[in-house]
Amino acid sequence: MNKIKITYHKHILSFILCLVSFITLAQTKSTDIKTINGKKYYIHKVEKGQSLYAIAKTYNMDVNSILAENDDAIDGLNAGQELKIPFESLMKTSSMAIDTNKYVYHKIQKGETVYAITKKYNIDDKIINSFNPNISKGIKEGEYLIVGEKKKNVSNTTIALQALKDTIFYTVNIGETLYGLSVKFNVLQSQLLASNPFAKDGIKQGQQLKIPQKKAATTTSNVVKDQVVNTSSNTFGSANNDTIVFNKPKKTSYNIGLLLPFKLAELELINIDELARAKASFPATQALAMDFYTGFKIAVDSLSSKDFDITLSLFDIDEKDSLKIETLCKSYDFKKLDAVFGPLYSTEFKLVSSRAKALNIPVVSPLTQQNKILYNNALVSKINPSQYTLIEGLANFCSDSMMNSSNIIIVNTVPKDLTYLKTFKSKYNDNILVKGKTIKDSIKVVKGITGVKAAYVEGKKNVVVVLTNNHVYLQDFITQLASFSEKKDIVLVGFNSLTSIDNLDQGYLNKLQFHFATASHVDFENLATRQLARQYQDLFSTDPSDYYFQGFDIATYYLSNLKNNGPAFFLNLDKISGKGLSTDFKFYRPDVYTGFENQAISIYKYLNFKLVKTGW
pLDDT-based confidence at 54, cuts 50/70/90? confident
Cα angle: 283, vertex 286, 291; to 5 degrees: 120
* Region for residue 612 given its phi and psi (left: phi exceeds 0; alpha: psi -120 to 50; beta: otherwise): beta
In tens, the pLDDT along 338-397 reads 999 989 888 889 999 999 999 999 999 999 988 899 988 999 999 999 999 999 999 999
Phi, psi of 163 (to 5 degrees): -65, 125
Question: Is the Cβ–Cβ distance between 96 and 132 less than 8 Å?
Answer: yes
Collect all residues with Cβ–Cβ distance below 8 Å to 527 and sequence separation of at least 6.
Answer: none
3-state secondary structure 429-484: HHHHHHCCCCCCCCCEEECHHHHHHHHCCCCCEEEEEECCCCHHHHHHHHHHHHHH
d(CA 343, CA 353): 9
Kind plus residue range of the DSSP H or E element containing 2: strand 2-5
SS3 405: coil
Question: What is the residue type of 222?
Answer: N
The order of strands in the sheet holding 363-365 is: 2-5, 309-316, 253-260, 339-341, 363-365, 380-382, 596-598, 587-588
In tens, the pLDDT along 10-47 reads 444 554 554 444 433 445 778 888 888 888 888 998 88
Question: Is the Cβ–Cβ distance between 114 and 89 less than 8 Å?
Answer: no
Question: Is the Cβ–Cβ distance between 56 and 94 less than 8 Å?
Answer: no
Task: Find, among 464, 513, 474, 524, the residue nearest to 497 by Cα.
Answer: 474
Question: Is the Cβ–Cβ distance between 211 and 185 less than 8 Å?
Answer: yes
Strands (E), 486-580: 490-494, 515-518, 578-579
Query: Facing residues of 146 across strands?
Result: 105
Give the per-residue pLDDT at 89: 54
Give the per-residue pLDDT at 362: 96
Collect all residues with Cβ–Cβ distance below 8 Å to 343 and sequence separation of at least 6.
Answer: 259, 260, 261, 317, 319, 325, 349, 352
Give the per-residue pLDDT at 319: 67
In tens, the pLDDT along 529-544 reads 889 998 888 887 788 8
Question: Is the Cβ–Cβ distance between 315 and 289 less than 8 Å?
Answer: no
Q: Any idea of the CA torsion for 273, 275, 280, 282, to the nearest 10 degrees?
A: 140
In tens, the pLDDT along 404-429 reads 668 899 999 888 899 999 999 988 88
Strand-strand pairing, 228-230 and 602-607: unpaired
* Helix axes 527-540 and 546-565, enclosed angle (nearest 10): 110
SS3 369: coil
Phi, psi of 40 (to 5 degrees): -90, 135
Give the per-residue pLDDT at 51: 73
In tens, the pLDDT along 546-605 reads 999 999 999 999 999 999 999 999 999 999 999 999 999 999 998 888 999 999 999 999
Domains of the chain and CATH, by start: 30-149 (3.10.350.10), 253-385+527-604 (3.40.50.2300), 387-518 (3.40.50.2300)
Task: Find, among 568, 563, 558, the residue nearest to 247 by Cα.
Answer: 568
Give the per-residue pLDDT at 613: 86
Question: Is the Cβ–Cβ distance between 608 and 595 less than 8 Å?
Answer: no
pLDDT-based confidence at 244, cuts 50/70/90? very low
Cα angle: 395, vertex 397, 403; to 5 degrees: 85
Neighbours of 394 (CB within 10 A): 24
Q: How many helices (H) and strands (E) does the chain have?
A: 20, 27
Question: Is the Cβ–Cβ distance between 275 and 19 less than 8 Å?
Answer: yes
Cα distances (Å, whole numbers) of residue 308 to 16, 94, 153, 184, 363: 28, 43, 15, 18, 20
Bond into 343 cis (ω within 30): yes
In tens, the pLDDT along 448-470 reads 999 999 999 998 889 999 999 88
Give the per-residue pLDDT at 49: 66
d(CA 36, CA 40): 6
Phi, psi of 62 (to 5 degrees): -80, 155
The percent of residues in the chain predicted with pLDDT above 70, rounded, is 77
Give the per-residue pLDDT at 611: 85
Question: Is the Cβ–Cβ distance between 32 and 43 less than 8 Å?
Answer: yes
d(CA 43, CA 34): 7
SS3 3: strand
